[in-house]
Copies of this chain bind each other. A is one copy, B any other.
Amino acid sequence: MLNIPDLNRLKVFYCIYVRRSVAGAAQELNITQSAVSQQLKKLETELKTQLFTRLHKTLVPTSEAQQLQAIIAPFVHELEVGLRAIRQAKSIPAGELRVGSTHEFGKTYLPRIFATFRSRYPDVSFTLQLGDAKRLLPGLLQGQLDIALIDEYLTQRMAPEELNPFSFEKIIDEEVVLAGSREYCTERLNNDFSLENLALQDYVSYHHDGLALTNWFKHHYNKSALDLNIVLETESLQAVMNGIQNHLGLSVIASHLAYDDIRRGAIVPIPTGKKAILNCISLARLQDKVPNLTEKTFLAHFRREVQQTGVFRDFLRIVEGAGDAQN
């Protein structure tokens, strides 16, 4: 249990110590000399410790007073700086913005968005925590995060009352495709995209959300218990992309992550006739949280940036194109 004296008295003490004078402190605190004198006396009796030796004109701090001051002075300084920063942040975005995100999106796009934001508002710093909804939503609940970017499909498996405190806003639909290198598709698949043929292939499994491959087959062929040949299972997107590029096998990826390779035809999304799975990335926040200026400004910036980013505007065309080609 907290056992500390009246902190306002410590503030008075601080002023007395700095000015070495009751009258001076009174002036600084905009109260009468009498009030300061009384406060000091009360503090001394509370602490059962004499803090100043009264010496006619001036006050001489005792060893204990010096000890106290050594604790209080840095705090007062820190507090003044901190409050100034908080007040400042009401006119210009400043301070720390704590962002949570899914791994791929966070690693791939957020740093650039942070950078462009910081170039306009250099007093803002960011913390970026990566993880899935199961990790990030509690982060919002416990106040470690201001906003979180999560895969919406993950929230669909959570109990509705768990989602109650949050608000969600769709940010982008990312297209989930099964893809392999052109070489792999022509040589190993022989461009035969039938389920039977696909079931015989090699696969690279990206293991952050776990169920990507299963979901893909469920969606496109309504098959859930396929025994696929996983030749690489990794948590590293880099490793997955390298695996595909080097003809190791097929993998489920978000198409925008391989935007350039798909455009060039170096990587081929497997067409199935059905529309691609759309995984919605949502912006999650605490429902009742009133965003401060920094957060508000960043969210505006964020939405603008996302809209202007080609990979998000264009990917539907690409794969629709691919789909059309097959139809």
Contacts and interface: CB of A to CB of B under 8 A. Distances in A.
A294 B15 CA distance: 26
Contacts of A239: none
Nearest to A77: B71
Interface string A38-74: 0000000001111011111010111111111011101
Contacts of A64: 86, 89, 95, 292
Interface size on A, as a range, is 35 or more
A146 interface: yes
10 nearest interchain CB pairs? A7-B7, A61-B143, A75-B75, A60-B143, A53-B289, A71-B82, A71-B78, A7-B8, A53-B286, A64-B86
A190 to B, nearest CB: 56
Contacts of A15: 2
Copies in the complex: 2
Nearest to A76: B4
Interface in A69-103: 70-72, 74-76, 78-80, 82-83, 85-87, 89-90, 95-98
Interface in A1-22: 1-8, 10-11, 15
A211 interface: no
A100 to B, nearest CB: 13
Contacts of A56: 165
Interface in A110-153: 140-143, 146
A290 B98 CA distance: 53
Nearest to A50: B290
Given A49-B292, A50-B292, A52-B143, 4 more contacts: A55-B165, A63-B95, A66-B143, A71-B78
A160 B129 CA distance: 70
A110 to B, nearest CB: 17
A147 to B, nearest CB: 11
A276 to B, nearest CB: 37
Contacts of A289: 53, 60, 62
A80 B4 contact: yes
